[in-house]
Amino acid sequence: MTTELATFGAGCFWGVEEAFRNVPGVVSTSVGYTGGTTENPTYEDVCGKKTGHAEVVQIVFDPAKITYEQLLNIFWECHDPTTLNRQGPDVGSQYRSAIFYHSPNQQKIAEHSKAVLAKSGLHALPIVTEIVPAQAYWQAEDYHQQYFAKRGGGSCHL
């Protein structure tokens, strides 16, 4: 099986991971940090707003079973891409809406998907989602992995 990576920031990573975890074609998910300057940051470091990292979900997927476009559709639906550096009550750049692409093809698909969404009229405000190259990914502490699954369910505010 050939797999690919997708990395999305869409607010609190607990709920974002849950949105993708059981989707057919998704091989695995993990939550972590990317997009900043600090190596091997902790949750406390990221919440301290000094690292520049976003809370993200990294997805290993089988492109023969689910496309990157389909993953993007889930990404757009699981958060509000019009709020800058916040999702619901969570405020800070670590909660920013971001697509971290792993190839030029992913970049092209993401930019097209964002443009289609912006023209759709679904959102009254502009889409503020960043589309940037993937950087070093630092997996979050174990207690953050599959947070809701370990606690018998739940969801974030959106």
**pLDDT in the model for residue 59:** 98
Distance CA 111, CA 134 (A): 15
Residue 18 counted as domain residue: yes
Distance CA 23, CA 89 (A): 27
Residue 90, beta-bridge partner list = 87
Q: How many domains does the chain have?
A: 1
**pLDDT in the model for residue 155:** 57
Total residues belonging to the chain: 158
> Between 157 and 41, where is the model more confident?
41
Q: What is the domain extent for residue 31?
A: 4-150
Nearest alpha carbon to residue 96 among 88, 107, 87: 87
Residue 155 counted as domain residue: no
- What does the block give as tokens for 157? 């505010």
Residue 55 counted as domain residue: yes
All residues at 6 or more sequence positions from 133 whose CB lies less than 8 Å from its CB, including other chains: 100, 101, 107
**pLDDT in the model for residue 156:** 59
Residue 158 counted as domain residue: no
Whole-angstrom CA distances from 158 to 53, 71, 77, 129 are 21, 18, 9, 16
Residue 26 counted as domain residue: yes
Nearest alpha carbon to residue 33 among 47, 15, 21, 18: 47
pLDDT tens, position by position, 130-153: 999 999 999 988 877 876 777 766
Residue 141 counted as domain residue: yes
Residue 78 known to be catalytic: no
- Domain with residue 27: its CATH number is 3.30.1060.10
The catalytic residue among 12, 47, 78, 156 is 12
pLDDT tens, position by position, 25-55: 999 999 999 999 999 999 999 988 889 999 9
pLDDT tens, position by position, 100-137: 999 999 999 999 999 999 999 999 999 999 999 999 99
Residue 124 counted as domain residue: yes
